[in-house]
């Protein structure tokens, strides 16, 4: 399969000219190795025993060639992180090291944080604009930068296309596969987490079916701030049995360390503090297709009465993935906003390095009316000039600005 350019490619190209060491983090299967190898003159794949042995024979990189060195799956040999850090302390040149990892090290491993030496970048599954199936016309990055870009363009993408985009996955090795194969690969991905990834971290899943139920309950809470206690309640089996709270906390912690859980945290502005904001996270899995598979929802069933209740939340998951990928390239942080009394709620808030804010609402529909933008207008009234743009992301066909300045943008038209 040919390589599809990723948004993080531009970040790497820029930062490798500045930083001696960059760590590219994210769940298995997002394409970290393929992206990193395009920039490396030599690679050590530490999940391969012979290559791991070669690295262990020369941990100081004495015999390594000049140029960028890739240490892939570095968490398999946590000492590799410290070895890179030491080389940075000794004056390694810009672009010398790339590290890729699909998990944080297991507890008890004494590894220096790398703060100030190793720059971390997150790599997520492919956003819609990275899959080569749409032609964006509206720049979210320009919005975040406060440039108020032209909002125009038209797309033939339909709600059925978005359902297919949700179910087909953003993992590069899965998304173009025939549906039956893709479903099998997603099942195998989830099974591998139970059978291999968690045990490798020292956590043995004694009742795999309970973890699967908890993951399905988490998936059903996608794009909501449902409490973990309610997710636990939803994990109850048909016989009435329920896992212990400590067990599900362990699930959450270990899955987060594998980058499979990707919650959107509550946002509060860096300059202008709101009086009362809820800080509970919005739940998201790394890839909306994992959520759909856990809930046994296909592209077709998302459009049927059976799957209708999850179509909106999973469309928001797809939008969230795209927004986060672009926002990272724009050096913006992403959160959600909800007042504690629930009278105001904004799906996504991007804040740039200067404190400028873009408020984003998500709507599984083509038409936008005044009621759909009332929270965005409230945000602008509350923050004034700190709001650099406002947008509703839809499933419609046309991008435009409303008379009140709010951009209406189909997801297929939203890009870097």
Per-residue model confidence as pLDDT tens digits over 11-25: 999 999 999 999 999
Q: Where are the alpha helices (DSSP H) in 43-104?
A: 49-57, 79-89
Digit-coded pLDDT (tens) for 126-154: 999 999 999 999 999 999 999 999 999 99
The span from the CA of 301 to the CA of 310, in Å, is 10
Phi-psi region of 8 (alpha: psi -120 to 50; beta: other; left: phi over 0): alpha
Q: Among 202, 170, 203, which residue's Cα sits nearest to residue 189? A: 170
What are the two backbone dihedrals, phi and then psi, of residue 227, each rounded to the nearest 5 degrees? -65, 155
The span from the CA of 189 to the CA of 289, in Å, is 11
Per-residue model confidence (pLDDT) at position 108: 44
Digit-coded pLDDT (tens) for 168-177: 999 999 999 9
CB 124 within 8 Å of CB 324 = yes
**Is the pTM value of this prediction over 0.85?**
yes
414 contacts: CB under 8 Å, gap ≥ 6: 128, 129, 136, 138, 140, 322, 326, 393
3-state secondary structure of 326: helix
Work out the percent of the chain whose per-residue pLDDT is above 90: 83
Per-residue model confidence (pLDDT) at position 109: 43
327 contacts: CB under 8 Å, gap ≥ 6: 140, 144, 333, 334, 350
Beta-carbon count within 10 A of 78 CB: 17
Per-residue model confidence (pLDDT) at position 202: 85
For the chain, give every domain's residue range. 7-122, 128-415
Model confidence at 398: pLDDT above 90: yes
Structure confidence at residue 273 as a pLDDT band (50, 70, 90): low
The span from the CA of 134 to the CA of 157, in Å, is 8
| Cα dihedral 197, 199, 203, 209 sign | positive
3-state secondary structure of 19: coil
The span from the CA of 84 to the CA of 53, in Å, is 17
Structure confidence at residue 239 as a pLDDT band (50, 70, 90): confident
298 contacts: CB under 8 Å, gap ≥ 6: 167, 179, 183, 292, 307
Q: Exposed, middle or buried by CB within 10 Å (0-12, 13-18, 19+), for 239?
A: exposed
CATH architecture label of 7-122: 3-Layer(aba) Sandwich (3.40)
Model confidence at 272: pLDDT above 80: no
What are the two backbone dihedrals, phi and then psi, of residue 43, each rounded to the nearest 5 degrees? -125, 140
Q: Which two tokens stand for residue 6?
A: 């990723």
Average pLDDT over residues 357-374: 97
Per-residue model confidence (pLDDT) at position 110: 43
């Amino acid at each position: 399969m040919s390589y599809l350019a990723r948004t993080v490619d531009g970040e790497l190209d820029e930062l490798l000219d500045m930083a001696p060491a960059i760590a590219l983090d994210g769940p298995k299967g997002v394409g970290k190795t393929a992206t990193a190898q395009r920039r490396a003159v030599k690679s050590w794949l530490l999940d391969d025993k012979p290559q791991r042995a070669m690295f262990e024979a020369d941990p100081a990189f004495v015999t390594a060639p000049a140029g960028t060195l890739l240490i892939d799956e570095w968490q398999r040999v946590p000492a590799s992180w410290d070895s890179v850090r030491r080389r940075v302390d000794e004056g390694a040149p810009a672009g010398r090291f790339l590290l890729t990892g699909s998990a944080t090290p297991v507890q008890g491993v004494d590894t220096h944080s790398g703060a100030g030496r190793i720059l971390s970048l997150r790599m997520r599954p492919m956003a819609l604009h990275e899959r080569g199936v749409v032609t964006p016309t509206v720049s979210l990055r320009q919005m975040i930068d406060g440039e108020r870009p032209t909002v125009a363009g038209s797309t033939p993408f339909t709600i059925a296309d978005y359902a297919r985009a949700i179910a087909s996955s953003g993992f590069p090795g899965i998304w173009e596969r025939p549906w039956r194969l893709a479903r099998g690969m997603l099942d195998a991905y989830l099974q591998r987490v139970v059978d291999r990834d968690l045990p490798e971290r020292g956590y043995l899943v004694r009742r795999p079916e309970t973890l699967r139920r908890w993951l399905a309950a988490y998936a059903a809470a996608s794009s909501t701030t449902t409490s973990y206690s309610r997710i636990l309640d939803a994990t109850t089996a048909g016989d009435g049995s329920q896992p212990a709270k400590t067990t599900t906390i362990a699930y959450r912690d270990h899955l987060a360390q594998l980058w499979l859980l990707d919650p959107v945290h509550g946002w509060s502005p860096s300059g202008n503090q709101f009086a009362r904001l809820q800080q509970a996270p919005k739940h998201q899995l790394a890839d909306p297709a994992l959520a759909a598979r856990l809930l046994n929802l296909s592209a077709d069933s998302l459009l049927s009465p059976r799957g209708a209740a999850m179509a909106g939340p999973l469309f928001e998951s797809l939008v969230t993935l795209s927004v986060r990928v672009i926002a990272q390239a724009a050096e913006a942080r992403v959160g959600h906003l909800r007042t504690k009394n629930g009278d105001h709620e904004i799906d996504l808030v991007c804040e740039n390095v200067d404190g400028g804010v873009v408020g984003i609402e998500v709507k599984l529909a083509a038409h936008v009316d005044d009621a759909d933008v009332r929270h965005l207008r409230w945000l602008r009234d509350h923050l004034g000039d700190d709001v650099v743009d406002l947008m509703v992301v839809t499933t419609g066909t046309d991008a435009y600005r409303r008379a009140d300045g709010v951009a209406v943008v189909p997801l297929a038209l939203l890009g870097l």
